[in-house]
Amino acid sequence: MTKSKITRETAKKLDRTDELSIYKSEFYTKDSTYYMDGNSLGLLSKRAERTLMTSLEDWKTYGIDGWTEGKQPWFYMSEQIGEMTAPLIGAKAHEVINTGSITANLHQLLASFYKPDGKRTKIIADELNFPSDIYALKSQIDLHGLQPSAHLIQVESQDGYTLSEDNIIAQMDEEVALLLLPSVLYRSGQLLDIEKITKAAHDQGIIVGFDLAHSIGALPHHLNDWDVDFAVWCTYKYLNSGPGGVGGLYVHEKHLGKKPGLAGWFSSKKEKQFDMEHELTPAETAGAYQMGTPHILSSAPLLGSLEIFHEAGIKSIREKSLALTRMMMNLIHQELPDYGFQLANPLEDERRGGHICLLHPEAASICKALKEENVIPDFRSPNVIRLAPIALYISFEDVYDVTLILKGIMENEKHKRFKNERGIIA
């Protein structure tokens, strides 16, 4: 941690030299409100609003012809968004498609890649992953007539918040068919070493997939170079597509040209789709892993949102994100040493995603007090406060203010007025 005192002027100086500060005005933010929950739901940008309204206008103007004649032709929108997303994850355009939800896409790719055979029947996951991923894994194991209790390996955490790559690798052997892990752990914000894990798994003949929900849009990836087999993600967090925004998936080009595990009309090669044949001719791209008709109005905002990422550059976004979280950690160390807080996220830049994981026994009540002070945090049971200073719309002075607001809450025990329990949605 830094030894020099951080002041408001420190923060203002950083803001004056911040090349990404111009993007804050692109988003709908509220005066005197500090939105620190962009790792759950990103804010609406004016560009995302514009491209959504364009698709609405295409519907209004063209009706059915909006599929091919609109300003944003719907028939090719999923591929267009895939091409725009590819640079953020180090993929080639034909390896990426915008489609489905994160869990639906995971089921699709598990149906395509999880092929238990002989003694190679097990899946490696972890005990800290988001529950939805574990539900999907157990469902797929069940569908093969196997018992999740015997065929799902959940790598244990030594501290309850982070994972050891070496412990993950130690579980790999000739009985494992597939591995699925989060790139960034949703509670602690730990960034796993994707390249190291992938190489070790491939050395054992294991198919490798990653859930990028908490990393895409926050940091660069090199999925093609790292030889990752598949990945899934949502787009409503760092990519700012809106609530329930359509997700995405990646399949390494070495696997393309095969029939998907779960076929549907939009799995078709586009030139053949309207031949209406009952024998599928799958697309030779990641588009083969689509199923139903694209959700246009939940995809269109990404056309505008991704423009911002291309202008700002994912490398610059990552650099600012690290600087913001580093400053927040230093401020917590400086201003809050006496109030029982503990940082559970990795301190090293190369092991940290885009948010801070702050532990406190009264985390739920503290989050309620923060909201009353116009700070929007995220609570995760039982004791986690997540704070995400998003590079595109959070300033260094915002981080300074949030820390002082939190200090004021603790000094004056404002959180004691609230029950220390989560609401219906945490």
Calculate the average pLDDT of the chain.
97
User: What confidence score (pLDDT) does residue 424 get?
Assistant: 73
* Residues in binding site: 102-103, 130-133, 211, 214, 236, 265, 293
- Domains defined for the chain, CATH in brackets: 8-31+313-412 (3.90.1150.10), 49-311 (3.40.640.10)
Q: What angle do CA 120, 126, 131 make, to 5 degrees?
A: 110
Please tell me the pTM assigned to this model. Answer: 0.96
- Per-residue pLDDT at 88 exceeds 80: yes
Start-to-end C-alpha separation, the chain: 30
> Which pLDDT band, with edges at 50, 70 and 90, does 1 fall under?
very low
Cis check: omega of the bond before 116, within 30 degrees of 0? no
pLDDT at 41 over 70: yes
Residue ranges of the binding site for pyridoxal 5'-phosphate: 102-103, 130-133, 211, 214, 236, 265, 293
pLDDT tens digits along 350-382: 999 999 999 999 999 999 999 999 999 999 999
Contact 354, 388 (CB under 8 A): yes
The pLDDT of 162-188, averaged and rounded, is: 98
Reported as a single tens digit per residue, the pLDDT across 190-243 is: 999 999 999 999 999 999 999 999 999 999 999 999 999 999 999 999 999 999
> In Å, how far from its chain's centre is CA 363?
23
Q: How far apart are CA 393 and CA 426, in angstroms?
A: 22
